[in-house]
Amino acid sequence: MEKYDIAIIGSGSAGYVAAIRGADLGKKVLIIEKGELGGTCLNRGCIPTKALLHSAEIYSHFNNSEEIGIKAENISYDLNVIQKRKNDIINKLVTGIDLLLKSRKIVLKKGCGKIVDEHTIEINHEGNIERINAENIIIATGSEPLMPPCFKFDGKNIITSKEALEVKEIPKDILIIGSGAIGVEFAIFFSSFGAKVTLVEMMPQIIPALRDKKMAKLIQRILNKKGIDVITGTKVENIEIKEDGRVFSTLSNGKTIQNEKVLVSIGRKLNSEGIGLEDVGVKVENGRIIVNEEMRTNIPNIFAVGDVIGGLLLAHKAQREGIVVAEVISGLNTKMDYRVVPSAIFSSPEISAVGLTEEEAKEKGIEIITGEIPFASNGKALTMNETEGLVKVVAKKDTKEIIGAQIVGPDASVLIAELALSVEKNLTLMDVANTIHTHPTLPEVIMEAAKAALGEAIHKAKR
Protein backbone atom coordinates (compact mmCIF):
# COMPACT_ATOMS: atom_id res chain seq x y z
CA MET A 1 0.00 0.00 0.00
CA GLU A 2 1.39 3.40 -1.02
CA LYS A 3 1.97 5.81 1.85
CA TYR A 4 1.68 9.61 1.83
CA ASP A 5 2.08 12.40 4.35
CA ILE A 6 -1.01 14.13 2.95
CA ALA A 7 -3.83 12.71 0.82
CA ILE A 8 -6.36 15.18 -0.55
CA ILE A 9 -9.77 14.26 -1.95
CA GLY A 10 -10.54 16.93 -4.54
CA SER A 11 -8.37 19.17 -6.74
CA GLY A 12 -10.37 22.40 -6.68
CA SER A 13 -9.22 25.75 -5.33
CA ALA A 14 -8.74 24.42 -1.80
CA GLY A 15 -7.33 21.02 -2.78
CA TYR A 16 -4.64 21.93 -5.27
CA VAL A 17 -3.43 24.91 -3.21
CA ALA A 18 -3.17 22.70 -0.11
CA ALA A 19 -1.22 20.18 -2.17
CA ILE A 20 1.25 22.75 -3.49
CA ARG A 21 1.81 24.38 -0.10
CA GLY A 22 2.19 20.98 1.56
CA ALA A 23 4.74 19.85 -1.01
CA ASP A 24 6.67 23.10 -0.64
CA LEU A 25 6.86 22.37 3.09
CA GLY A 26 8.44 18.99 2.40
CA LYS A 27 5.43 16.66 2.49
CA LYS A 28 4.73 13.73 0.17
CA VAL A 29 1.33 14.61 -1.29
CA LEU A 30 -1.40 12.77 -3.18
CA ILE A 31 -4.48 14.29 -4.85
CA ILE A 32 -7.50 12.13 -5.68
CA GLU A 33 -9.83 13.65 -8.29
CA LYS A 34 -12.90 12.07 -9.88
CA GLY A 35 -13.50 14.86 -12.40
CA GLU A 36 -11.54 17.69 -13.96
CA LEU A 37 -8.35 19.00 -12.39
CA GLY A 38 -9.07 22.41 -10.90
CA GLY A 39 -12.59 21.67 -9.69
CA THR A 40 -15.65 23.88 -9.99
CA CYS A 41 -14.01 27.32 -9.97
CA LEU A 42 -11.71 26.62 -12.87
CA ASN A 43 -13.98 24.41 -14.99
CA ARG A 44 -17.58 25.36 -14.16
CA GLY A 45 -17.47 28.54 -12.08
CA CYS A 46 -15.24 31.57 -11.56
CA ILE A 47 -13.07 31.37 -14.66
CA PRO A 48 -15.59 30.41 -17.38
CA THR A 49 -18.18 32.92 -16.14
CA LYS A 50 -15.62 35.73 -16.20
CA ALA A 51 -14.59 34.77 -19.72
CA LEU A 52 -18.21 34.96 -20.88
CA LEU A 53 -18.82 38.20 -18.99
CA HIS A 54 -15.77 39.82 -20.60
CA SER A 55 -17.21 39.10 -24.05
CA ALA A 56 -20.56 40.48 -22.92
CA GLU A 57 -18.89 43.62 -21.57
CA ILE A 58 -17.03 44.30 -24.83
CA TYR A 59 -20.24 43.77 -26.83
CA SER A 60 -22.13 46.17 -24.55
CA HIS A 61 -19.40 48.81 -24.83
CA PHE A 62 -19.64 48.82 -28.63
CA ASN A 63 -23.43 48.97 -28.53
CA ASN A 64 -23.23 52.04 -26.29
CA SER A 65 -20.15 53.72 -27.74
CA GLU A 66 -21.79 56.64 -29.58
CA GLU A 67 -21.96 58.72 -26.41
CA ILE A 68 -18.15 58.69 -26.21
CA GLY A 69 -17.73 59.50 -29.90
CA ILE A 70 -17.28 56.01 -31.31
CA LYS A 71 -19.72 55.02 -34.05
CA ALA A 72 -20.01 51.28 -34.50
CA GLU A 73 -22.50 49.77 -36.92
CA ASN A 74 -23.78 46.24 -37.46
CA ILE A 75 -22.24 44.95 -34.24
CA SER A 76 -22.67 41.19 -33.96
CA TYR A 77 -21.32 38.31 -31.91
CA ASP A 78 -20.34 34.71 -32.53
CA LEU A 79 -21.25 32.56 -29.55
CA ASN A 80 -19.19 29.65 -30.88
CA VAL A 81 -16.05 31.80 -30.80
CA ILE A 82 -16.97 33.12 -27.36
CA GLN A 83 -17.36 29.56 -26.07
CA LYS A 84 -14.12 28.42 -27.73
CA ARG A 85 -12.22 31.28 -26.11
CA LYS A 86 -13.69 30.34 -22.73
CA ASN A 87 -12.68 26.70 -23.17
CA ASP A 88 -9.18 27.65 -24.34
CA ILE A 89 -8.70 29.72 -21.17
CA ILE A 90 -9.85 26.79 -19.01
CA ASN A 91 -7.52 24.36 -20.79
CA LYS A 92 -4.57 26.73 -20.43
CA LEU A 93 -5.13 27.11 -16.69
CA VAL A 94 -5.71 23.38 -16.15
CA THR A 95 -2.45 22.66 -17.97
CA GLY A 96 -0.73 25.23 -15.78
CA ILE A 97 -1.94 23.59 -12.57
CA ASP A 98 -0.90 20.18 -13.86
CA LEU A 99 2.62 21.52 -14.46
CA LEU A 100 2.70 23.07 -10.98
CA LEU A 101 1.81 19.70 -9.43
CA LYS A 102 4.31 17.73 -11.52
CA SER A 103 7.11 20.19 -10.76
CA ARG A 104 6.62 19.39 -7.06
CA LYS A 105 6.25 15.63 -7.60
CA ILE A 106 2.66 15.70 -6.32
CA VAL A 107 0.89 12.47 -7.31
CA LEU A 108 -2.51 12.80 -9.02
CA LYS A 109 -4.78 9.75 -9.10
CA LYS A 110 -8.10 9.71 -10.97
CA GLY A 111 -11.12 8.19 -9.28
CA CYS A 112 -13.58 8.53 -6.42
CA GLY A 113 -11.99 8.65 -2.99
CA LYS A 114 -13.69 7.15 0.06
CA ILE A 115 -12.29 7.21 3.58
CA VAL A 116 -12.13 3.68 5.00
CA ASP A 117 -10.48 4.50 8.32
CA GLU A 118 -8.48 7.36 9.82
CA HIS A 119 -5.46 6.62 7.63
CA THR A 120 -6.85 4.70 4.65
CA ILE A 121 -8.57 5.93 1.49
CA GLU A 122 -10.10 3.65 -1.11
CA ILE A 123 -9.87 4.91 -4.70
CA ASN A 124 -12.37 3.61 -7.24
CA HIS A 125 -11.43 4.40 -10.83
CA GLU A 126 -13.85 2.83 -13.31
CA GLY A 127 -14.20 -0.26 -11.12
CA ASN A 128 -10.51 -0.64 -10.35
CA ILE A 129 -10.02 -0.45 -6.58
CA GLU A 130 -6.86 0.77 -4.90
CA ARG A 131 -6.13 1.63 -1.29
CA ILE A 132 -3.56 4.13 -0.02
CA ASN A 133 -2.31 5.08 3.44
CA ALA A 134 -2.08 8.70 4.56
CA GLU A 135 -0.77 10.28 7.75
CA ASN A 136 -3.18 13.17 7.16
CA ILE A 137 -6.35 13.36 5.07
CA ILE A 138 -7.79 16.58 3.64
CA ILE A 139 -11.37 16.61 2.34
CA ALA A 140 -11.82 19.20 -0.42
CA THR A 141 -14.79 17.80 -2.31
CA GLY A 142 -16.50 21.13 -3.02
CA SER A 143 -20.14 21.66 -3.93
CA GLU A 144 -22.54 21.41 -6.86
CA PRO A 145 -25.65 23.34 -8.01
CA LEU A 146 -28.73 22.76 -5.87
CA MET A 147 -31.84 21.73 -7.79
CA PRO A 148 -35.16 21.13 -5.95
CA PRO A 149 -36.79 17.90 -7.21
CA CYS A 150 -40.08 19.72 -7.82
CA PHE A 151 -38.49 21.79 -10.62
CA LYS A 152 -38.13 18.77 -12.95
CA PHE A 153 -34.64 19.66 -14.16
CA ASP A 154 -34.02 18.57 -17.77
CA GLY A 155 -30.74 20.33 -18.55
CA LYS A 156 -32.25 21.98 -21.64
CA ASN A 157 -35.18 24.18 -20.69
CA ILE A 158 -34.63 24.13 -16.94
CA ILE A 159 -30.92 24.53 -16.30
CA THR A 160 -28.26 25.26 -13.69
CA SER A 161 -25.10 27.34 -14.02
CA LYS A 162 -23.34 24.28 -15.45
CA GLU A 163 -25.59 24.20 -18.52
CA ALA A 164 -25.74 28.00 -18.75
CA LEU A 165 -21.98 28.06 -19.27
CA GLU A 166 -22.35 25.89 -22.37
CA VAL A 167 -25.23 27.68 -24.14
CA LYS A 168 -25.09 27.40 -27.92
CA GLU A 169 -27.49 30.30 -28.49
CA ILE A 170 -28.87 33.18 -26.45
CA PRO A 171 -32.51 32.58 -25.47
CA LYS A 172 -35.13 35.16 -26.39
CA ASP A 173 -36.13 35.34 -22.74
CA ILE A 174 -34.99 33.68 -19.53
CA LEU A 175 -36.17 33.51 -15.93
CA ILE A 176 -33.38 33.36 -13.36
CA ILE A 177 -34.33 32.07 -9.91
CA GLY A 178 -32.04 33.43 -7.19
CA SER A 179 -30.17 36.74 -7.08
CA GLY A 180 -26.88 35.68 -5.57
CA ALA A 181 -23.58 36.04 -7.42
CA ILE A 182 -24.46 33.36 -9.99
CA GLY A 183 -27.93 34.73 -10.70
CA VAL A 184 -26.83 38.36 -11.05
CA GLU A 185 -23.80 37.55 -13.23
CA PHE A 186 -25.84 35.43 -15.64
CA ALA A 187 -28.55 38.12 -15.68
CA ILE A 188 -25.91 40.57 -16.93
CA PHE A 189 -24.53 38.06 -19.44
CA PHE A 190 -27.83 37.13 -21.07
CA SER A 191 -29.18 40.69 -20.97
CA SER A 192 -26.04 42.05 -22.64
CA PHE A 193 -26.63 39.78 -25.63
CA GLY A 194 -30.28 40.78 -25.99
CA ALA A 195 -32.25 38.31 -23.87
CA LYS A 196 -35.20 39.59 -21.86
CA VAL A 197 -34.22 38.67 -18.30
CA THR A 198 -36.46 38.30 -15.26
CA LEU A 199 -34.68 37.82 -11.93
CA VAL A 200 -36.76 36.42 -9.06
CA GLU A 201 -35.57 36.46 -5.44
CA MET A 202 -37.53 34.98 -2.53
CA MET A 203 -35.88 37.27 0.04
CA PRO A 204 -36.99 40.91 0.51
CA GLN A 205 -33.87 42.31 -1.17
CA ILE A 206 -31.63 41.42 -4.07
CA ILE A 207 -28.30 39.73 -3.19
CA PRO A 208 -29.38 38.69 0.33
CA ALA A 209 -25.77 38.03 1.41
CA LEU A 210 -25.05 41.74 1.00
CA ARG A 211 -26.51 42.98 4.27
CA ASP A 212 -26.66 46.63 3.31
CA LYS A 213 -30.14 47.71 2.23
CA LYS A 214 -28.97 50.93 0.59
CA MET A 215 -26.45 49.09 -1.55
CA ALA A 216 -29.03 46.43 -2.47
CA LYS A 217 -31.50 49.10 -3.62
CA LEU A 218 -28.76 50.77 -5.66
CA ILE A 219 -27.90 47.49 -7.39
CA GLN A 220 -31.56 46.76 -8.14
CA ARG A 221 -32.01 50.22 -9.63
CA ILE A 222 -28.96 49.72 -11.87
CA LEU A 223 -30.22 46.31 -13.05
CA ASN A 224 -33.63 47.80 -13.81
CA LYS A 225 -31.97 50.51 -15.94
CA LYS A 226 -30.32 47.72 -17.93
CA GLY A 227 -33.75 46.27 -18.70
CA ILE A 228 -33.56 43.42 -16.18
CA ASP A 229 -36.87 42.88 -14.39
CA VAL A 230 -36.17 42.20 -10.70
CA ILE A 231 -38.88 40.68 -8.50
CA THR A 232 -38.06 40.35 -4.78
CA GLY A 233 -39.95 38.76 -1.90
CA THR A 234 -41.39 36.18 -4.27
CA LYS A 235 -41.02 32.40 -4.61
CA VAL A 236 -41.25 30.30 -7.74
CA GLU A 237 -43.72 27.63 -6.66
CA ASN A 238 -43.93 25.51 -9.80
CA ILE A 239 -42.24 25.14 -13.18
CA GLU A 240 -43.89 23.34 -16.08
CA ILE A 241 -42.52 22.69 -19.56
CA LYS A 242 -45.22 22.87 -22.24
CA GLU A 243 -45.31 20.81 -25.45
CA ASP A 244 -43.88 23.70 -27.47
CA GLY A 245 -40.87 23.86 -25.14
CA ARG A 246 -41.89 27.09 -23.42
CA VAL A 247 -41.45 27.04 -19.65
CA PHE A 248 -44.29 28.32 -17.46
CA SER A 249 -43.33 29.41 -13.94
CA THR A 250 -45.93 30.05 -11.25
CA LEU A 251 -44.94 32.69 -8.69
CA SER A 252 -46.13 33.06 -5.11
CA ASN A 253 -47.65 36.44 -6.00
CA GLY A 254 -50.13 34.66 -8.26
CA LYS A 255 -48.48 35.58 -11.54
CA THR A 256 -47.34 33.16 -14.23
CA ILE A 257 -44.29 33.89 -16.37
CA GLN A 258 -43.40 32.06 -19.57
CA ASN A 259 -39.85 31.87 -20.86
CA GLU A 260 -37.65 29.98 -23.26
CA LYS A 261 -35.40 28.90 -20.40
CA VAL A 262 -35.29 28.92 -16.60
CA LEU A 263 -31.95 29.10 -14.80
CA VAL A 264 -32.07 27.85 -11.22
CA SER A 265 -29.39 29.46 -9.04
CA ILE A 266 -30.79 29.12 -5.54
CA GLY A 267 -27.65 27.80 -3.88
CA ARG A 268 -25.27 24.88 -3.84
CA LYS A 269 -25.25 21.40 -2.32
CA LEU A 270 -22.13 20.54 -0.30
CA ASN A 271 -20.42 17.33 -1.45
CA SER A 272 -20.07 15.56 1.89
CA GLU A 273 -21.98 12.38 1.03
CA GLY A 274 -20.54 9.11 -0.23
CA ILE A 275 -16.97 9.73 0.93
CA GLY A 276 -17.02 7.61 4.09
CA LEU A 277 -17.41 10.33 6.72
CA GLU A 278 -19.99 8.36 8.66
CA ASP A 279 -17.68 5.32 8.75
CA VAL A 280 -14.94 7.19 10.62
CA GLY A 281 -17.22 9.45 12.66
CA VAL A 282 -16.43 12.84 11.12
CA LYS A 283 -18.96 15.35 12.44
CA VAL A 284 -21.32 16.75 9.78
CA GLU A 285 -24.24 19.17 10.26
CA ASN A 286 -26.72 19.76 7.42
CA GLY A 287 -24.14 18.54 4.92
CA ARG A 288 -21.42 20.82 6.27
CA ILE A 289 -18.25 19.26 7.69
CA ILE A 290 -17.48 20.86 11.06
CA VAL A 291 -13.92 22.16 11.48
CA ASN A 292 -12.03 24.45 13.84
CA GLU A 293 -9.80 27.43 12.94
CA GLU A 294 -7.04 24.98 11.94
CA MET A 295 -9.46 23.31 9.48
CA ARG A 296 -9.32 20.18 11.66
CA THR A 297 -12.38 17.96 12.08
CA ASN A 298 -13.23 16.06 15.28
CA ILE A 299 -10.87 13.35 14.00
CA PRO A 300 -7.38 14.85 14.66
CA ASN A 301 -5.68 13.80 11.41
CA ILE A 302 -8.65 14.48 9.12
CA PHE A 303 -9.15 18.02 7.83
CA ALA A 304 -11.67 19.71 5.54
CA VAL A 305 -11.45 22.86 3.43
CA GLY A 306 -13.39 24.77 0.77
CA ASP A 307 -17.09 24.67 -0.02
CA VAL A 308 -17.67 21.40 1.83
CA ILE A 309 -17.28 23.18 5.20
CA GLY A 310 -19.92 25.78 4.27
CA GLY A 311 -19.78 29.49 4.97
CA LEU A 312 -18.89 31.73 2.05
CA LEU A 313 -18.52 29.54 -1.03
CA LEU A 314 -15.63 31.49 -2.52
CA ALA A 315 -12.51 30.24 -4.31
CA HIS A 316 -10.15 32.68 -2.61
CA LYS A 317 -11.49 31.69 0.81
CA ALA A 318 -10.94 28.05 -0.15
CA GLN A 319 -7.39 28.78 -1.31
CA ARG A 320 -6.54 30.45 1.98
CA GLU A 321 -8.00 27.47 3.86
CA GLY A 322 -5.79 25.22 1.72
CA ILE A 323 -2.70 27.15 2.78
CA VAL A 324 -3.78 27.12 6.44
CA VAL A 325 -4.34 23.36 6.54
CA ALA A 326 -1.02 22.56 4.82
CA GLU A 327 0.84 24.78 7.27
CA VAL A 328 -0.99 23.33 10.29
CA ILE A 329 -0.10 19.79 9.18
CA SER A 330 3.51 20.94 8.77
CA GLY A 331 3.63 22.21 12.35
CA LEU A 332 3.23 25.94 11.73
CA ASN A 333 1.03 28.08 13.97
CA THR A 334 -1.46 29.18 11.32
CA LYS A 335 -5.18 29.84 11.77
CA MET A 336 -8.02 30.93 9.50
CA ASP A 337 -9.34 34.48 9.95
CA TYR A 338 -12.76 34.93 8.38
CA ARG A 339 -12.98 38.65 9.22
CA VAL A 340 -11.08 39.52 6.10
CA VAL A 341 -12.57 37.39 3.33
CA PRO A 342 -13.61 39.80 0.57
CA SER A 343 -16.42 38.92 -1.80
CA ALA A 344 -17.16 40.13 -5.32
CA ILE A 345 -19.89 39.84 -7.91
CA PHE A 346 -18.69 40.49 -11.44
CA SER A 347 -21.81 42.24 -12.63
CA SER A 348 -21.92 45.57 -14.46
CA PRO A 349 -20.97 47.53 -12.46
CA GLU A 350 -19.17 45.18 -10.11
CA ILE A 351 -20.07 44.63 -6.46
CA SER A 352 -17.65 43.86 -3.63
CA ALA A 353 -17.54 43.80 0.15
CA VAL A 354 -15.31 42.93 3.08
CA GLY A 355 -15.80 42.82 6.83
CA LEU A 356 -18.93 44.19 8.50
CA THR A 357 -21.74 46.21 6.99
CA GLU A 358 -23.23 49.13 8.89
CA GLU A 359 -26.18 46.96 9.96
CA GLU A 360 -23.97 44.08 11.13
CA ALA A 361 -21.75 46.39 13.17
CA LYS A 362 -24.77 47.91 14.91
CA GLU A 363 -26.15 44.44 15.66
CA LYS A 364 -22.85 43.66 17.40
CA GLY A 365 -23.19 46.80 19.50
CA ILE A 366 -20.24 48.55 17.86
CA GLU A 367 -20.44 52.34 17.69
CA ILE A 368 -19.47 53.28 14.17
CA ILE A 369 -18.96 56.07 11.70
CA THR A 370 -19.33 55.64 7.95
CA GLY A 371 -18.15 57.45 4.87
CA GLU A 372 -19.67 57.33 1.39
CA ILE A 373 -18.44 58.73 -1.91
CA PRO A 374 -20.15 58.21 -5.29
CA PHE A 375 -18.12 57.30 -8.36
CA ALA A 376 -19.80 60.24 -10.09
CA SER A 377 -17.42 62.50 -8.16
CA ASN A 378 -14.32 60.69 -9.45
CA GLY A 379 -12.51 62.07 -12.49
CA LYS A 380 -11.29 58.70 -13.73
CA ALA A 381 -14.78 57.18 -13.51
CA LEU A 382 -16.12 60.08 -15.57
CA THR A 383 -13.47 59.57 -18.25
CA MET A 384 -14.43 55.88 -18.38
CA ASN A 385 -18.12 56.79 -18.63
CA GLU A 386 -18.76 54.51 -15.64
CA THR A 387 -20.16 56.66 -12.86
CA GLU A 388 -22.79 54.34 -11.37
CA GLY A 389 -22.24 53.28 -7.76
CA LEU A 390 -20.39 54.31 -4.63
CA VAL A 391 -17.86 53.29 -1.98
CA LYS A 392 -18.91 52.94 1.66
CA VAL A 393 -16.43 52.54 4.52
CA VAL A 394 -17.39 51.40 8.04
CA ALA A 395 -15.13 52.20 11.02
CA LYS A 396 -15.20 52.14 14.81
CA LYS A 397 -16.18 55.54 16.18
CA ASP A 398 -13.61 55.62 18.98
CA THR A 399 -10.46 54.22 17.34
CA LYS A 400 -11.37 54.97 13.69
CA GLU A 401 -10.30 51.39 12.87
CA ILE A 402 -11.75 50.23 9.55
CA ILE A 403 -13.94 47.16 10.10
CA GLY A 404 -15.78 46.87 6.79
CA ALA A 405 -16.49 48.28 3.35
CA GLN A 406 -18.87 47.83 0.44
CA ILE A 407 -18.38 48.93 -3.15
CA VAL A 408 -20.71 49.11 -6.14
CA GLY A 409 -18.95 50.47 -9.20
CA PRO A 410 -16.27 49.99 -11.86
CA ASP A 411 -13.48 47.57 -10.87
CA ALA A 412 -15.04 47.02 -7.43
CA SER A 413 -13.48 43.54 -7.33
CA VAL A 414 -10.03 45.13 -7.60
CA LEU A 415 -10.63 48.14 -5.36
CA ILE A 416 -11.79 46.00 -2.43
CA ALA A 417 -8.23 44.66 -1.97
CA GLU A 418 -7.05 47.92 -0.38
CA LEU A 419 -9.90 47.79 2.10
CA ALA A 420 -9.39 44.07 2.79
CA LEU A 421 -5.80 44.88 3.70
CA SER A 422 -7.08 47.71 5.91
CA VAL A 423 -9.34 45.31 7.82
CA GLU A 424 -6.62 42.63 8.01
CA LYS A 425 -4.03 45.02 9.46
CA ASN A 426 -6.46 47.00 11.64
CA LEU A 427 -5.70 50.20 9.74
CA THR A 428 -7.55 53.42 10.61
CA LEU A 429 -9.44 55.90 8.48
CA MET A 430 -6.48 58.23 8.87
CA ASP A 431 -4.10 55.59 7.46
CA VAL A 432 -6.11 55.40 4.25
CA ALA A 433 -7.11 59.07 4.09
CA ASN A 434 -3.51 60.25 4.48
CA THR A 435 -2.08 57.85 1.91
CA ILE A 436 -1.44 59.70 -1.35
CA HIS A 437 -3.38 58.01 -4.15
CA THR A 438 -2.43 58.46 -7.80
CA HIS A 439 -4.57 60.92 -9.77
CA PRO A 440 -6.69 60.36 -11.76
CA THR A 441 -7.51 56.82 -10.64
CA LEU A 442 -10.48 54.92 -9.27
CA PRO A 443 -8.78 54.17 -5.89
CA GLU A 444 -9.08 57.86 -5.06
CA VAL A 445 -12.72 57.07 -4.23
CA ILE A 446 -11.52 54.88 -1.35
CA MET A 447 -9.32 57.68 -0.02
CA GLU A 448 -12.23 60.12 -0.30
CA ALA A 449 -14.62 57.71 1.47
CA ALA A 450 -12.18 57.48 4.39
CA LYS A 451 -11.96 61.28 4.45
CA ALA A 452 -15.76 61.50 4.31
CA ALA A 453 -16.05 59.32 7.43
CA LEU A 454 -13.72 61.77 9.18
CA GLY A 455 -15.68 64.77 7.92
CA GLU A 456 -12.76 65.82 5.73
CA ALA A 457 -13.92 64.89 2.21
CA ILE A 458 -12.61 67.26 -0.44
CA HIS A 459 -14.82 66.25 -3.37
CA LYS A 460 -18.13 66.21 -1.53
CA ALA A 461 -20.49 69.16 -1.13
CA LYS A 462 -21.15 70.43 2.39
CA ARG A 463 -24.70 70.14 3.67
For residue 72, the model assigns a pLDDT of: 86
Residues of the chain with confidence (pLDDT) below 50: none
- Is 142 assigned a ligand-binding role in the annotation? yes
- Is 185 assigned a ligand-binding role in the annotation? yes
Domain-located, residue 463 = no
Residues 119 and 154 in one domain: no
In residues, how long is the chain? Answer: 463
The CATH number linked to 154 is: 3.50.50.60
439 is catalytic: yes
Q: Are strands 402-409 and 390-396 parallel, antiparallel or unpaired?
A: antiparallel
- Is 364 assigned a ligand-binding role in the annotation? no
Residues 26 and 125 in one domain: yes
Residues 173 and 308 in one domain: no
Residues 362 and 438 in one domain: yes
- Is 50 assigned a ligand-binding role in the annotation? yes
Helix %, strand %, coil % for the chain, to 5?
35, 25, 40
Query: Structural domain tally of the chain?
Result: 3
For residue 152, the model assigns a pLDDT of: 83
- Residue-range definition of the domain harbouring residue 8: 2-145+269-339
For residue 298, the model assigns a pLDDT of: 98
- Is 182 assigned a ligand-binding role in the annotation? yes
Domain-located, residue 459 = no
Please state the pTM of the whole predicted model: 0.94
Residues 262 and 359 in one domain: no
Which of 266, 281, 314 is the last residue in one of the domains?
Answer: 266
For residue 316, the model assigns a pLDDT of: 97
The CATH number linked to 440 is: 3.30.390.30
- Is 143 assigned a ligand-binding role in the annotation? yes
Domain-located, residue 192 = yes
With beta carbons less than 8 A apart as the criterion, state whether 451 and 445 touch: no
For residue 327, the model assigns a pLDDT of: 99
Task: Give residue-wise pLDDT tens across range 382-411.
Answer: 999 999 999 999 999 999 999 999 999 999
From 316, 437, 439, 459, active-site residue:
439
Phi then psi dihedrals of residue 424, to 5 deg: -60, -45
Which of 319, 339, 359 is the last residue in one of the domains?
Answer: 339
For residue 243, the model assigns a pLDDT of: 87
With beta carbons less than 8 A apart as the criterion, state whether 302 and 137 touch: yes
Task: Give residue-wise pLDDT tens across range 30-52.
Answer: 999 999 999 999 999 999 999 99
Around 378, how many Cα atoms within 13 Å sit in the side-chain half-sphere?
A: 29
Phi then psi dihedrals of residue 319, to 5 deg: -65, -40
